[in-house]
Amino acid sequence: MSIQQNLAEIHQQIDACCQQADRTLNQVKLLAVSKTKSIAEIEEAIEAGQTAFGENYVQEGVEKIQFFQQRNISLEWHFIGLLQSNKSRLVAEHFDWVETVDRLKIAERLSRQRPTALAPLNVLIQVNISDEPSKSGIRPNELLPLAQQIGELPNLTLRGLMAIPQASANELVQQHAFEQMQQLFQQLQQALPQRQIDTLSLGMSGDMATAIKCGSTQVRIGTAIFGARN
């Protein structure tokens, strides 16, 4: 199937998941994960109405952002990869969102390096909800202190949380991790009522239905849109 057909099918799946979870259809945003994908493939997604894209690699993402900016095509770009300190300036200067903030040092660098001519950089705190040694992210008990510190930084807007729960064939184990994230998200909203905490980035192709059931407001889909990675 074409990218356009894939996008249409995913939107139908999101709508069906929302109905099953008794949620309105516009509550879940689709982020197209376009890492390693060509300009032509992204253009096909844009023609099908997709405007939000996620990139894992800084240099590759910046090149794509600049390509579409030069053509006056307005898109929303999310950085969803591991962010190293020496790459933070490029991310601060080009992306609209960073979903993988897991320490104050990185947040401070992003705030300091964000051009004042641009809108504040939207950030999500990444939570290592399954406590996997191989994954980035904070422990749940570290969330509120970090969130309060990030919330005070001048050129950032804290929007919520992101996680990649450990894959499990056991649906109950999987759902438990998602429910924990939903609880943390609600705690964050209650702790910072003056902030725009509205985004829970949770769920990919294999676990989208469970994520939406547990309150995800954004799913990150790559292979199901673009096919296998290049």
Identify the band that residue 172 occupies on the pLDDT scale cut at 50, 70 and 90. Answer: confident
Using one digit for the tens of pLDDT, what is the confidence trace for 116-139? 999 999 999 999 998 878 888 999
Instruction: Please provide the average confidence, as pLDDT, over all residues in the chain.
Output: 95
pLDDT at 25: 79
Evaluate if residue 184 carries a pLDDT over 80. yes
The answer regarding whether domain 3-221 maps to CATH 3.20.20.10 reads yes
For residue 92, the Cα-to-chain-centroid distance in whole angstroms is: 16
- Report if pTM > 0.85: yes
Sorted by where each begins, the domain ranges of the chain are: 3-221
Buried b / exposed e over 63-73, threshold 16 CB at 10 Å, is ebbeebeeeee
Using one digit for the tens of pLDDT, what is the confidence trace for 26-64? 899 999 999 999 999 999 999 999 999 999 999 999 999
Identify the band that residue 230 occupies on the pLDDT scale cut at 50, 70 and 90. Answer: low
pLDDT at 9: 97
pLDDT at 60: 98
**Which residues lie below 8 Å from residue 104, measured CB to CB, with a gap of 6+?**
146, 149, 150
As a whole number, mean pLDDT of residues 201-223 equals: 95
